[in-house]
Structure 1
Amino acid sequence: MNRRRFLQTAGVTGAAALAGCSGMFQTRTLPNEPPMVKNRPDAVYYPTHVEGMEMAGMAKQGRYRLALFYSFPHRFWLMGGGTAKQQEKVTVQESDDLHLMASVWDAKTKTVLPAGDVRIELSKGDWSATRTMWPMLSQNMGFHFGDNMSLDGDGTYAAEIRVAGLSVRRTGALAGQFGSGATLSTKFEFTQDKLDELSFKRLDDKKGKKGAVPAMEMEMPMSRVPPKKDLPGRFVGEKSSGDAKFLVAAVSDTPLANDTYLLVSPRTPYRRYPIPMMSLSAKLRRGGKSVFDGALQPTLDPDIGYHYGANVKGVESGDELTVLVDSPPQVSRHEGYETAFLSMPKMRFSVS
């Protein structure tokens, strides 16, 4: 398998060929990103390839913990309004040297913080670059922040990362935490040779088929939600919409609600990654009358994970529940997720 292509600066399009100081010409190696699969399913599918990644550094401030990684620059998709037509495909530019990724979590509960804004400034000598990183989903890493970036050649880089406070509701051991942001700092050594040594595996036999690659093994928390058996309260049901799985439970006797807490836990179909940045609402009817009709609030809880919930006046046998996706997830996607979680019909549950 031809894992690399050798590029010269002259006549190169669609890939980076210039590294280091501007005006200096050199030969550079880049992974050969395969063409996109035609007729991709409207679902999670195996991408054309998987890439290795390198740990760049770690940082801490208060209860904030952050890990910085990098891999080859690669394509990804931004969400402009929730439909495939409003997506923006980001392709690799000639100036891109790597794809930089950051994961942020709570030191106490080991909960990944799948929300907020992350802004990074890289500096090396008198060179610097600043970027607000996109919140993203990838099959091998789950939720993280990332973007393609250009560097100033080999050397030691200082990274200053500003993590904004969370606006999403926090409950349990996260209540009252992370309302204020933090600035975290680390340094890392980058060389083109080290980048080129990362693995790059084509998935020619699986690409385009429904499924997902395994999550990477990392010595740090990953963004996952609990399986069905570990959800609290009374399990109401499970449905799929837009290839996302939605698990619904009703929890009584909880600090989360005065009466009953209705929780909806959307997750990716294969890896139990939470799906943030969507708008959900619900309608609960009992005996033909409305019991609840309103929005479900995005909430981060160390035991339930990232979910959507509301306080309702009980959930009883015979109730009819409808969950609506008012706005599909606006989180950016790596290849394999960009065709899923777009058209998301409402879901109906009958409480037994």
Structure 2
Amino acid sequence: MDRRRFLASAGLAGASILAGCGSVENQSTRSPPLVENRPDATYYPTHSEGMEMIGHKQAGDYMVGLTYSYPHRFWTVTGTNAEQVTIRDADSVHLMASVWDPETMTVLPIESGVSITIDADGETVADKQPWPMVSQNMGFHYGDNYQLDGEGVYEITVRVDGMTERRLGGFADRFGDAGEMTTNFEFSRDARDAISYDEYPDQQGSRAALDLMSMEMMPTSQVPAPEDLPGELLGTAKGSDEVYAATWVSEADVLESGQSYLAVSVRTPYNRVPLPMMSLDGTVEIDGESVYDDALSPTVDPAVGYHYGAVVEATGDPSVTVETIGPPQVSRHEGYETAFLDTPTLSF
């Protein structure tokens, strides 16, 4: 299975914005030592760095925004284990791709993934899939460190594969096909090294998070507040620092007579960033009788955003249990690498 896939077995150059990114070749300058005794939860990182917009374009049904910053450290996740990816001397930039619906501005985590190809003078310099990632102030995106062949102009192609997640509401007949966009990128070390950089010696390690960035060209990847979810909110619960919000929908176009819909939205604390690529099971009882006991499917919907859901062949007042089989199989920027790794069971 591709390393980016869910592991269930375990031209607008010059626009400056902030991202939780990491280092240049001189790692002692741009990568402060990690916080000692980091909590097993979201924490304030040692530093943050800016990023620059390369471009954003339509790619089939999708809109894609491409940005870059310094190469930086991050952590990949397999099962319940996080492993640090260190910066290589040859790394030139950290590329980040965000994918969203241009109509509703909903950021779309896509399990099938994104690929980035970099060409220069007719030759391919790099061709690989970036990791699905979460960072505190950029939210969900796809990113990785890339090696370039020196300064100059590069042609970057971003391909977004068709979604395999269930799509409801206004998304029902969209995002099934792949899309592709191409943009030019002029790389110089001076421009990269001029990107902003801030350290937080007094706040690092505290139980808090950087604010999500706000920018005109790209949406923020937030799911609705629990009270804004459709249907009847059954409650919220905290897992291994992530927050679960469960709602019970009795009326929707997707439902037939005698059916209800259970939606479980899992998000980060502080910023409500969706946590995709989890494996969740759900059980539903009504009047003491079991009416559902199965997996909850990854789903996107304009009103709920990314969530895990199931159509239940029953109506009434439910009692719901959610069991986390696998935590989010997404890479993390600093401040998230110790969080969201347990497998709690929660009741609503």
TM-score, structure 1 normalization: 0.87
Is the contact made by 1:52 and 1:199 (CA closer than 8 Å) also made in structure 2? yes
Q: Any residues of structure 2 matched to 1:103-252 within 5 Å, and which?
A: 103-115=98-110, 116-127=112-123, 128-219=125-216, 220-252=218-250
Q: Which residue of 2 aligns with 1:89?
A: 84
Q: Which residue of 1 aligns with 2:327?
A: 328
Q: Give the partner amino acid of 2:174.
A: Q
Q: CA distance change for structure 1 residues 256 and 210 in 2, over 3 Å: closer, same or farther?
A: farther
CA deviation string 1:102-121 (max 9, x = no partner): 01111222221111311111
- Please report how far the alpha carbon of residue 286 of structure 1 lies from its aligned counterpart in structure 2 after TM superposition: 3.3
- Please report how far the alpha carbon of residue 274 of structure 1 lies from its aligned counterpart in structure 2 after TM superposition: 0.6
CA deviation string 1:277-317 (max 9, x = no partner): 00111112234331211111110011110011111244544
Is the contact made by 2:24 and 2:30 (CA closer than 8 Å) also made in structure 1? no
Q: Give the partner amino acid of 2:307.
A: H
Runs of 5+ unmatched residues, structure 1: 1-14, 18-27
Cα distance between partner residues in 1 of 2:274 and 2:89 = 33
- Please report how far the alpha carbon of residue 157 of structure 1 lies from its aligned counterpart in structure 2 after TM superposition: 1.1
Is the contact made by 2:245 and 2:265 (CA closer than 8 Å) also made in structure 1? yes
**Superposition RMSD on alpha carbons, in Å?**
1.7
- Please report how far the alpha carbon of residue 30 of structure 1 lies from its aligned counterpart in structure 2 after TM superposition: 8.1
Match of 1:77, SS state, is: strand
Cα distance between partner residues in 1 of 2:114 and 2:168 = 22
Q: Which residue of 1 aligns with 2:8?
A: none
Match of 1:121, SS state, is: strand
Q: Any residues of structure 2 matched to 1:255-270 within 5 Å, and which?
A: 255-258=253-256, 259-270=259-270
Is the contact made by 1:58 and 1:68 (CA closer than 8 Å) also made in structure 2? yes
Is the contact made by 1:59 and 1:66 (CA closer than 8 Å) also made in structure 2? yes
Is the contact made by 2:171 and 2:301 (CA closer than 8 Å) also made in structure 1? yes
Q: CA distance change for structure 1 residues 159 and 30 in 2, over 3 Å: closer, same or farther?
A: farther
TM-score, structure 2 normalization: 0.88
- Please report how far the alpha carbon of residue 235 of structure 1 lies from its aligned counterpart in structure 2 after TM superposition: 1.1
Q: Give the partner amino acid of 1:121.
A: T
Cα distance between partner residues in 1 of 2:255 and 2:43 = 38
- Please report how far the alpha carbon of residue 323 of structure 1 lies from its aligned counterpart in structure 2 after TM superposition: 0.7
Match of 1:311, SS state, is: strand
Cα distance between partner residues in 2 of 1:87 and 1:252 = 39
Q: Any residues of structure 2 matched to 1:296-307 within 5 Å, and which?
A: 296-307=296-307
Is the contact made by 1:63 and 1:108 (CA closer than 8 Å) also made in structure 2? no
CA deviation string 1:36-59 (max 9, x = no partner): 111111111111100100011222
CA deviation string 1:164-222 (max 9, x = no partner): 11100111111111111012111121111111111111111111111110111222112
- Please report how far the alpha carbon of residue 133 of structure 1 lies from its aligned counterpart in structure 2 after TM superposition: 0.8
Q: Which residue of 1 aligns with 2:289?
A: 289
Q: CA distance change for structure 1 residues 97 and 271 in 2, over 3 Å: closer, same or farther?
A: same
Match of 2:130, SS state, is: strand
CA deviation string 1:317-346 (max 9, x = no partner): 4x4321111111101111111111111310
How many residues were matched structurally?
321
Q: Which residue of 2 aligns with 1:77?
A: 75
Runs of 5+ unmatched residues, structure 2: 1-22
Is the contact made by 2:46 and 2:205 (CA closer than 8 Å) also made in structure 1? yes
Match of 1:52, SS state, is: strand
Cα distance between partner residues in 1 of 2:181 and 2:323 = 38
Q: Give the partner amino acid of 2:232.
A: R
Cα distance between partner residues in 2 of 1:37 and 1:315 = 49
Query: Is 1:99 the equivalent of 2:98?
Result: no
State, as a whole percentage, how many aligned pairs show the same letter: 48
Cα distance between partner residues in 1 of 2:343 and 2:129 = 29
Cα distance between partner residues in 2 of 1:31 and 1:181 = 40
